[in-house]
Amino acid sequence: MTEDLVPPDHVGAFSNREAIRQSRFAMGLSLFTGFFMLLLKIVAYGITGSAAILSDAAESVVHVLAVGFAAFSLWYGQRPADTTHPYGHDRISFFSAGFEGAMIIIAAVYIIYEAIHKWLAGLQLQHITEGTALVGLAVIINGALGWYLIHMGRKHHSLVLEANGKHVLTDSWTSLGVIVALMLTRLTGWLPFDPLLAILVALNILWSGSKLVRRSIAGLMDEADPQMQAQLTGILTAASREEGIQFHHLRHRNAGNRLIVDVHLLFPQETSISRAHELATRIERLIMNELPMQVEVITHLEPIEGHDEIHRDLLHQERHDKEDENERKKTGYNPPTAR
């Protein structure tokens, strides 16, 4: 039996220089815009004293920190595999998404705290029209940037860019909530609209941050994607039927910007190693071409005849070894090692 690993020079959406350039440009644009939005909201808070605007500015501080880490993750994740990281560095994108989600949650909690604190301390608002105009500008800029980042993330299968885009959109929703609060306060003269809307917006971005953390954990724990598993099964079923072979033990995991697939291919006894390798390579390339992302495929070649008996014997031996190990743990007896 042999194992065939697709050479690392097979490239997907992220392997070409243009895709990398576009991704880095998008992240740089997000970082620059984040600093500009933070400055804009600090000015808006300074002239209004609004709790909602202060909470919005606090979210922007978190955004700048998160984008900085995301930019580093994007750069680090695109480094090629090496001897210490033979599977590449892509999985840092899950850490980045988790960090960004955690920062969003922290911002939401701070927004709620500040809104309640200002409400209890006494509300004072001024220059509402000017503040609303500045925040409105922030909504337009962040909205456009958020959709752009999400588009680029999905185009290049980058969780880092997509997570950052969703963070920018939550910032935009926060700012929109601030505008609603300021307009209602101006129209009705009822000051509690300001902290109430701030709390509602905070709850919304708390939910968004929680989903990012959940997705990050799923990636770090190698959670399977049922839809991807079904798609891979369909591809392999059609290919194996055409080539007259079988397959089993199909697994996959998301490595960040790449999908890693491993599967056992079963061949008739009379198939030569050379022919089996040729068919396996053909199936590997088929999987790569069918999926719209960078894919690494590992195939394990086995004979169809006697396959069940071989695996049954191996499984029996593994269980026997496990029982012996448990017995040694109970009795504390360790047999002497042969010299």
Q: What are phi and psi of 15, to 5 degrees?
A: -85, -20
pLDDT given at position 125: 66
pLDDT given at position 31: 85
* pTM score: 0.63
pLDDT beyond 60 at 129: yes
What Cα–Cα distance (Å) separates residue 103 from each residue in 22, 63, 107, 119, 209?
Answer: 25, 8, 6, 24, 8
Higher pLDDT pick, 319 / 38: 38
Structure confidence at residue 280 as a pLDDT band (50, 70, 90)? very high
pLDDT given at position 283: 93
pLDDT given at position 235: 94
CB contact at 8 A, 263 and 236 = yes
pLDDT beyond 80 at 268: yes
Which structure tokens are listed for 146? Answer: 């958020």
To which residue do tokens 């909504």 refer? Answer: 139
Which structure tokens are listed for 191? Answer: 């000051």
Mean pLDDT of the residues in the chain: 79
Taking the C-alpha atoms of residue 238 and residue 209, their distance in angstroms, rounded to an integer, is 40
pLDDT in tens, 194-245: 778 778 878 877 887 888 888 888 888 888 889 999 999 999 999 999 888 9
pLDDT in tens, 86-119: 877 878 878 878 887 888 888 888 888 888 887 7
For each of the domains in the chain, give its residue range(s) and CATH number, in order of start: 3-220 (1.20.1510.10), 226-331 (3.30.70.1350)
Taking the C-alpha atoms of residue 79 and residue 319, their distance in angstroms, rounded to an integer, is 41
pLDDT in tens, 136-193: 888 898 889 889 988 888 887 777 788 778 878 877 887 887 788 778 877 887 877 7
